[in-house]
Chain A
Amino acid sequence: MSMIEIERINTYYGDSHVLFDVSMVVREREVVALLGRNGAGKSTTLKTLAGVLHPRSGTIRFEGEPIELLPSHKIARLGLQLVPEERRIFGGLTVEENLDLAALSAPAPLPLAEIFAIFPRLRERRGSYGRSLSGGEQQMLTIARALIRRPRLILLDEPFEGLAVIIVQNLLEVCRQLVAQGQTIVIVEQNVRAALSLASRAYVLNNGHVVFEGTSEALQASPDVMNRYLGV
C-alpha cells in the first residue's frame, strides 16, 4: 500500500494558483526526491501535505486516510512530520527543551540517548539556547525534533541549504542510516546530486506542474530534462 497518495491537488496562496493538478505517490520505506527550481512549488507541496496549506481541490491520502482537510497538529500526530525549510528552532528554548516539546504529543518518543547517539553534537549543546546554535547545529536539531517523534514519514524541506560541505556530508550520512533502517522520506532539495544520492525515485516540478516522474537513474539519464527544468 502506498503511504502517501496525492491526487490532483490544486493549492493557492490567497488567490495565486501555485499547484496545478499535482499527483504523487510515496511507498513505504521509499525515499522520493521532489525537485525543481524555486518557485516551482516543491515547498508548497510539502506544506500542503503537512496541513500548513489546504488544497482547494484534490485529495491526499496518508496510509489510506484522507488528510487534506486536517489541521497540521492532527497530521503530525498521525505520523507525518515536516522538517521546515527555515528550520524554525525555538530560540528562547534550550536544545533539550526543543526536543522535549517535540516529544510531548508523541505516543512513544525516541529516548534522548538515542537522539544524542545520532547527533553527538547536540548532546554537547543540550543546555544551549536555540538562538546560539550554528546553522548546522540548528539543522541537526530540527531533524532531531522530527526523529524523536518516530514519524512514519519525514518531509525534509531543503535540509542542506546554506550549510558547509562537511556538515552536508554529515547529514547525508545520517539520512543514509535512516534510509537503511527503513524510514520513509520525501526530500525537497535544490542540490540535485545530494538528493538523488539518497532517493530512489524523483518528481520534477515546474511552475506548479509535475513534468517528470521516474527513478533517479532515469532522471540522471535524461540530461535534457535535467537542464530544462533543473538547470538554466
Chain B
Amino acid sequence: MGGSNRRRLKRWLPELSMAIALVILPFVFDTWLGSVDLFTRILIWGIFGLGFDLLFGRTGLLSFGQGAFYGTGGFVTAYLLTSGRMDNVWLALAAGVAAAALFSVFVGLLALRRVGIYFAMITLAFGELSFFLENSPLSRWTGGENGLPGVPAPSIQIGGLDYSFAGSWPSYQLIAGFYFIGFVFARFVVLSPVGSVLTAIQQNPQRTAALGHDVAAYKLTVFVLAAIFAGCGGALLGIFQSYMPPDAFGLDTSGQLVIQTVIGGAGTLIGPAVGAAIWLTLRDLLQQVPAIGDLWKFILGLVFVLLVTFMPNGVVGNIIRVWLRFGFRPAVATGTDRPGDVTAREALLAPLPTAIAPSLPPRLALDVRDISKAYGGIQAVDRVSLALPEGRLHAIIGPNGAGKSTFLRLLACEETPDSGEILLHGIDVAAADVTAAYQYGLAKSYQINQLFPQLTMRQNLRIGALGRHRGRLRLDIFRPADGFAKVEDIVAALLEELGLTECADLVVSTLPYGEKRRLELGLALASQPSVLLLDEPLAGLSAVEREGVKQLIRNLRKGRTIILVEHDMDAVFELAERITVLHEGRKLAEGTPNEISGDPLVKQAYLGGMTVP
C-alpha cells in the first residue's frame, strides 16, 4: 500500500471502526438485553460527552454545569413541539441547539474569566441556576417538576419514502446517526489547527497567547461547541423518551457526565460513551444483586474515586497507552523533510513584513520612547529610551534589580508601561497584548522554558507558525493541522536551523535540556518576527551548548533586529553591536562593547559603587 493511502486509512480508521460498531453493537444489545434502548441511551450520553470531552479532555476546562445546556436544548425543543408552536421536529431540534448555544455564549463570557477551581464553581452555579429557573419561574413552559411529556419523533419524507423515527429501532437509528455525525465532526476539530490550539491551551495557556492565538476566543468557541453537543443530546433525549425530564438541568446530570467521562477516559472522544456504558450497565447489574441493591451508587462512587486515584486516564485512555507502547503510532501529521539548503531555509525563515512601514528614514525597527513602570512605590523602569535600527543586535545588561526583566516584559507587551511609547516599525504597541505583538512580528524567547511538554518538537513549532499564518482566531475545523504547506515548510526549516530534525517527532518532555532550550528559541522564531527579544538564552547551558546557541544567534541576525538580555558577559561582548546598561531603572550608559567596558560609571554600578557604605 502506498504511503499516502496508508495515511488516509490511518486518518479514517476511527470513523470506519465507529461506523462498523454502530451497525453491529445494537444487535449485541438486542440479543443480550432484549432491547437496543440501553445502547441508545448510552449514545445520547455519548453525544453529550463528545462536546464535554472537547471542553475538558482536550482544553482542560472542567465544567460542572453542562446540564444547563443539555436541559436548554431539551426543553426548548420539547416546548416548541408539545405546545404546538412548531410541527417540524428537525426545526425544533435546531432551535433547541441554537438556544443552548446562545445561552452558552452568555455563561461562557462570565465563567471563562476564571480558570481551574473558580471555573468549576461558576459553571456549577450556573447549572444550578438553570435548574431553578426551569423548576419555578419558567415552569409554565417547562412543566416544572413534571417535565414535558408527549414529545414527538421526527420523520423523513423524501420522494415517496415516509419514514418515522418512532419506536425502539428507528430511535436507535436516529440517535446513532447523530452520534456518528457528531463523532466525525469532533474528530475534524481534534485533527484541525483549532484542535492543536486547544491542546496547547491545556498545556501552557500563557505561551499559547504569546504565540499569537486569541486564547479567550478559542476557549469561548470550544465552550459553545460543547453546549451545542449538549443541547443536541438533550433534545434527542426528549424525542427518544417522548418526555423531557426536569432533572436534565441538575447537578446529577452534570456530575454524571463528568464521572462517565473520567471513567471512560478524558481526551479520547469515545471516553464519555464508554463511561456511560460502564456506568449504566453496572447500575442495572448491581441493582439486581440482592446484597447490593440500593448501594449501587455508593459502589460506583467508590469505583470512581479509585479510578481517579490510580487510573486517571480512564479505561479508553489506558487502552490507548498500552496500544502506543506496543508501537502503534497514531496518524500524527509528520510533514516531509526538506533538503538542507541554507539559502532556501533563510528565505523561508526571513522576517515577515509588518503591517505598516514607516515612511520616515532612518528605518527604526524598534523605537522605545521614555517608557516607565512603577510597582507600588518602586520605580522599576524610569524613562528609558532605545532606538534600534533594523538588523541591530543590541544587548541590555545591568546589575540585579536594574529593571532589565521589567523592561523586556514591557517590550514584549506582557505589561503596559505607565507612560511612554513603543513603536514597532512605526506602530505604537505599548498598549497591545502579547497576542497582538506576535501578530505584529515581535516575539520573545523566555528565560525559563515555556513549552508544550506533551507535544512533539514539530507540533510545538507548528503552534508557533500557525499563529502568524492563521491570525488570532481562525475556525478552520475542516482543515488538518498540517494542512498549510507553507507552515509545514517553515517548521521543517526551523527544525533544520535549530539542529532538531532528528528529534522532531519526539515528545518534548522526554528530551534533554539543551534541545528544549533550542526549541524555546524556535518558538519565538516561528512567527518570522522582525524583532526578537531573547531573555537569557544561554541560561543553564553547558559550555559546549553555549557555543551552539551563540552561533545560532549569529545566524539569526539576517534582517532581524535582536535584543539580548544576558549575564554571560563573554557572550554579550562577543555578540552585541551595542550595549545599554540599566541601573536602578534608568539608562546608565549606552555604547559599543569597548566603550562600555571602559566606562567607570558602569564599573562602579556593577561593583557596588553607587551605594557605597
Within 8 Å by CB, do A and B touch in the complex?
yes
With contact pairs A15-B512, A16-B513, A190-B399 given, residues A165 and B611 touching in the complex (Cβ less than 8 Å): yes
With contact pairs A16-B540, A38-B567 given, residues A194 and B611 touching in the complex (Cβ less than 8 Å): yes
Query: Chain B: which residue is nearest A197 at the CB level?
Result: B613
Residue among A15, A192, A228 with the most chain B CB within 10 A? Answer: A15
Q: Is there a chain B Cβ closer than 8 Å to A112's Cβ? A: no
Query: Chain A: which residue is nearest B568 at the CB level?
Result: A207
B478-518: CB near A (< 8 Å → 1, else 0) gives 00000000000000000000000000000000001100110
Q: Is there a chain B Cβ closer than 8 Å to A8's Cβ? A: no
Measured between alpha carbons, how far is A3 from B377 in the docked complex, in Å? 40
Name the one of B378, B400, B513, B607 contacting A17, with C-beta atoms under 8 angstroms.
Answer: B513
Q: Is there a chain A Cβ closer than 8 Å to B346's Cβ? A: no
Instruction: Say whether A232 contacts B540, CB under 8 Å.
Output: no
Q: Is there a chain A Cβ closer than 8 Å to B596's Cβ? A: yes
Measured between alpha carbons, how far is A207 from B569 in the docked complex, in Å? 10
Which residues of chain A (62-107) have a CB below 8 Å from chain B? none
Name the one of A15, A16, A195 contacting B539, with C-beta atoms under 8 angstroms.
Answer: A16
Number of interface residues, chain A, beta carbon within 8 A: 36
Among the stretches A46-54, A121-129, A155-163, the one at the interface with B is A155-163
Instruction: Say whether A38 contacts B613, CB under 8 Å.
Output: no
Number of interface residues, chain B, beta carbon within 8 A: 33
User: Residues of B contacting A161 with CB < 8 Å?
Assistant: 400-401
Task: State how many angstroms separate the Cβ of A204 from the closest Cβ of chain B.
Answer: 12
Instruction: Say whether B611 contacts A39, CB under 8 Å.
Output: no
Q: Is there a chain A Cβ closer than 8 Å to B542's Cβ? A: yes
Q: Is there a chain A Cβ closer than 8 Å to B612's Cβ? A: yes
User: Residues of A contacting B512 with CB < 8 Å?
Assistant: 15
With contact pairs A13-B540, A40-B567, A161-B400 given, residues A194 and B613 touching in the complex (Cβ less than 8 Å): yes
Q: Is there a chain B Cβ closer than 8 Å to A58's Cβ? A: no
Task: State how many angstroms separate the Cβ of B579 from the closest Cβ of chain A.
Answer: 8
With contact pairs A161-B401, A165-B611, A190-B400 given, residues A232 and B539 touching in the complex (Cβ less than 8 Å): no
Q: Is there a chain B Cβ closer than 8 Å to A172's Cβ? A: yes
Task: State how many angstroms separate the Cβ of B395 from the closest Cβ of chain A.
Answer: 11
Task: State how many angstroms separate the Cβ of A16 from the closest Cβ of chain B.
Answer: 3
Instruction: Say whether A230 contacts B568, CB under 8 Å.
Output: no
Which residues of chain B (563-580) have a CB below 8 Å from chain A? 566-569
With contact pairs A16-B540, A192-B607 given, residues A38 and B596 touching in the complex (Cβ less than 8 Å): no
A210-232: CB near B (< 8 Å → 1, else 0) gives 00000000000000001110111
User: Residues of A contacting B44 with CB < 8 Å?
Assistant: none
Instruction: Say whether B378 contacts A15, CB under 8 Å.
Output: no
Instruction: Say whether B540 contacts A18, CB under 8 Å.
Output: yes
Instruction: Say whether B611 contacts A231, CB under 8 Å.
Output: no
Q: Is there a chain A Cβ closer than 8 Å to B321's Cβ? A: no
Instruction: Say whether A38 contacts B400, CB under 8 Å.
Output: yes
A154-187: CB near B (< 8 Å → 1, else 0) gives 0000101111010011001000000000000000
Instruction: Say whether B607 contacts A230, CB under 8 Å.
Output: yes
Instruction: Say whether B400 contacts A135, CB under 8 Å.
Output: no
Instruction: Say whether A193 contacts B607, CB under 8 Å.
Output: yes
Q: Is there a chain B Cβ closer than 8 Å to A29's Cβ? A: no
Instruction: Say whether A39 contacts B568, CB under 8 Å.
Output: yes
Q: Is there a chain A Cβ closer than 8 Å to B88's Cβ? A: no
Q: Is there a chain A Cβ closer than 8 Å to B358's Cβ? A: no
Q: Is there a chain B Cβ closer than 8 Å to A30's Cβ? A: no
List chain B positions with a Cβ less than 8 A from chain A.
377-378, 397, 399-401, 448-449, 512-513, 516-517, 536, 539-540, 542, 566-569, 581, 584, 596-597, 602-603, 606-609, 611-613
Contacts A16-B449, A193-B612, A232-B606 given; 20 further ones with Cβ under 8 A? A13-B448, A14-B449, A17-B542, A18-B540, A38-B567, A39-B539, A39-B566, A161-B400, A165-B611, A165-B612, A189-B608, A190-B606, A190-B608, A193-B608, A194-B608, A194-B612, A195-B608, A197-B613, A231-B602, A231-B603
Identify 20 residue pairs between A and B in the complex whose beta-carbon atoms are under 8 Å apart, listed by A's number: A13-B448, A14-B513, A15-B512, A18-B540, A37-B399, A37-B569, A37-B606, A158-B400, A162-B401, A163-B611, A190-B399, A194-B608, A227-B603, A231-B602, A231-B603, A231-B606, A232-B569, A232-B596, A232-B597, A232-B602
Q: Which 10 A-B pairs have the closest CB atoms?
A: A16-B540, A191-B608, A39-B567, A15-B513, A193-B608, A38-B400, A192-B607, A192-B608, A231-B606, A190-B400
List chain A positions with a Cβ less than 8 A from chain B.
13-18, 37-40, 134-135, 158, 160-163, 165, 168-169, 172, 189-195, 197, 207, 226-228, 230-232
